[in-house]
Amino acid sequence: MLKTPAGTAAICLALALLSFFQFPGHTWLQQDTQIYVPILEHERDPSVLRNDLLVQQSNVAYTLYDEAALGLQAITRLPLRDVLAIEQVITRAFGIWGVYLMATALDLSPGAAWLLAMIVSLGAAVAGPQVLTFEYEPTPRAFALPLIVCAIGLAAHKRYLAAGIAGSCALLYHFPTSSSFWLLFALVVLLEPRKAWRGLIPLLAAAAVLAFVAHGPPLGFFQRLTPLQQQLLHIRAAYVWISTWPVGVILHYPILFAVLLAAALRIRGIPTNLRIYVIGLPVIGLATMPFSWLALDHFGWAFMPQFQPLRKLLFVVLMAQFLTAAAGAKAASKERWLEAAGWFTAAYLIPLPLDLRPLLAASLLGILAVLAARRAPVLGLAAFFAIPALAGVANYPRLHTPQLEQLSAWARASTPRDAVFLFPDAGHSLAPGIFRAEARRAIYVDWKGGGQINYLKEFAAEWWSRWQQTIAAGFQPQDLPRYRTMGIQYVVVQPRDRLPQPPEFDNGSYVVYRCE
């Protein structure tokens, strides 16, 4: 079964589903989908959320993310959440297949290759740029990155046309994530021009599609940040400024790169078509640190917060995870048991916090992986359950509550379609963004929605003005008439801010008043 295409596809899909439902898991409306989902809903029906600042300009205008999601929704008639979940699982499966192909390119046995796919499927958080190797939410990057891994695996086996198709699909979803792959693919074309050029055909087609669908505001490629933009980025998106990172975070990546190189040297004989990516992508990632400092921190290049080059550091983490696991599998195949356990432990440690409990869990999993690499790859599945149980890792909080669902259902059924809500005492809470998407009612301003300042200059100024006038100023009962003049019809407050008047809605966690 392992050697048949149907068997391979089944295993990839099974691992993708395991990673989706068990660990690292998935989320909905807890991070960037709070921005993407309202935009998609508004594009599907312009009357939805038309009074919400968040949907006035789109940050998916230069991608096929929205067209793909809405097209699939129209075909399947499924809710948007289900459509995006299907895309997320399928692209994860392609990424898992890519890791398997990368592993078999190292002449590892199918069992060891599947073990590596399991280890990399555990994902990892990338400190500093605040990104993940396996995204929890169905965002453009969540679809693009596994497709890039798939393209790398195909290129490692010299299947250049297929690699070009996978890489081009990634480009259509998220150009910043795919750009490094194509930069290195150009090197592959130079090394093997007679074969690799075929991979450029899908790239040309993808570029033509993007040129056709692009409809957004100018990217500001030749502009510099205004003082207000710089101030707001430091407040709302400080992670884009490497000068604000702790020294320990900055040093983490050269150290991890050294571990990666040691593993690569220990493996020996990595094919050129694979070595270009497993070494080249981390090198590009490291290079983004001085580059970002010069381009953004020093020169204030306005394109940098949109492109976010520092997020290419995820390739340092991803390839360190892959190569340490591969070094463990190689050592196990030669019966160097202690060395194999050490490499596997390192691979499991990469996604875990540095603490005693995670270290013990990684050590146990490292020993178990030695047995899995040699005799029973299925033992690798234990990590999906052991990491949350033994290491105590919880990747994300539980933000959806029955009370918030009740509030959203009430607003959706009992308030005008064009009503505008404000959560004046919410602070940085993510609840308003969940409410916006679930209730399909406009929010005057919220913290998560401010993430658009990375992309949209005009949005940044308006968002900051609204924030300063409302949430930053704090909630006062006498502000209700003023809110009304600003176009706000309802305020949602916590019970501690209850007013001496009958509310429109009250469930013990949220109290709603009409602005009069």
pLDDT in tens, 390-441: 888 888 888 999 999 999 999 999 999 999 999 999 999 999 999 999 999 9
pLDDT digits (tens, 9 = 90+) for 169-226: 999 999 999 999 999 999 999 999 989 999 999 999 999 998 887 766 666 678 999 9
Average pLDDT of the residues of the chain: 94
Dihedral sign for Cα 40, 41, 42, 43, please: positive
Dihedral sign for Cα 488, 490, 495, 500, please: positive
Q: How many other β-carbons are positioned within 10 Å of the β-carbon of residue 385? A: 12
87-110 mean pLDDT: 97
- 442-443 and 420-422 as β-strands: parallel, antiparallel, unpaired? parallel
Sequence-ordered list of residues with C-beta below 8 angstroms from that of 216, at least 6 positions apart, any chain: 57, 58, 59, 61, 62
The pLDDT of residue 397 is: 87
Distance CA 183, CA 160 (A): 15
The pLDDT of residue 352 is: 92
pTM: 0.96
Contact between 416 and 192 under an 8 Å Cβ cutoff? The reply is no
State the DSSP string of 115-165: HHHHHHHT--EETTTTEESS-SS--HHHHHHHHHHHHHHHHHTT-HHHHHH
Between the alpha carbon of residue 90 and those of residues 80, 144, 147, the distances in Å are: 16, 11, 10
Closest among 173, 132, 171, 144 to 30, alpha carbons compared: 132
> What angle, rounded to 10 degrees, do the helices at 110-121 and 80-104 form?
140
Contact between 432 and 425 under an 8 Å Cβ cutoff? The reply is no
Question: Of all residues in the chain, what percent carry a pLDDT higher than 70?
Answer: 98
The pLDDT of residue 4 is: 84
When comparing pLDDT for 31 and 62, which is higher? 31
State the first-to-last Cα distance of the chain, in angstroms, to the nearest integer: 68
pLDDT digits (tens, 9 = 90+) for 262-295: 999 999 889 999 999 999 999 999 999 999 999 9
Closest among 391, 388, 389, 367 to 379, alpha carbons compared: 367
Q: Give the 3-state secondary structure percentages of the chain, helix then strand then coil, rounded to 5.
A: 65, 5, 30
pLDDT digits (tens, 9 = 90+) for 321-379: 999 999 999 999 999 999 999 999 999 999 898 888 999 999 999 999 999 998 899 99
- Residue 313, pLDDT > 50, answer yes
For residue 385 the two structure tokens come to 């359950």
The pLDDT of residue 2 is: 52
The pLDDT of residue 217 is: 63
Beta bridge partners of 512: 492, 505
pLDDT digits (tens, 9 = 90+) for 435-491: 999 999 999 999 999 999 988 888 999 999 999 999 998 899 999 999 999 999 999
The pLDDT of residue 216 is: 63
- Residue 1, pLDDT > 70, answer no
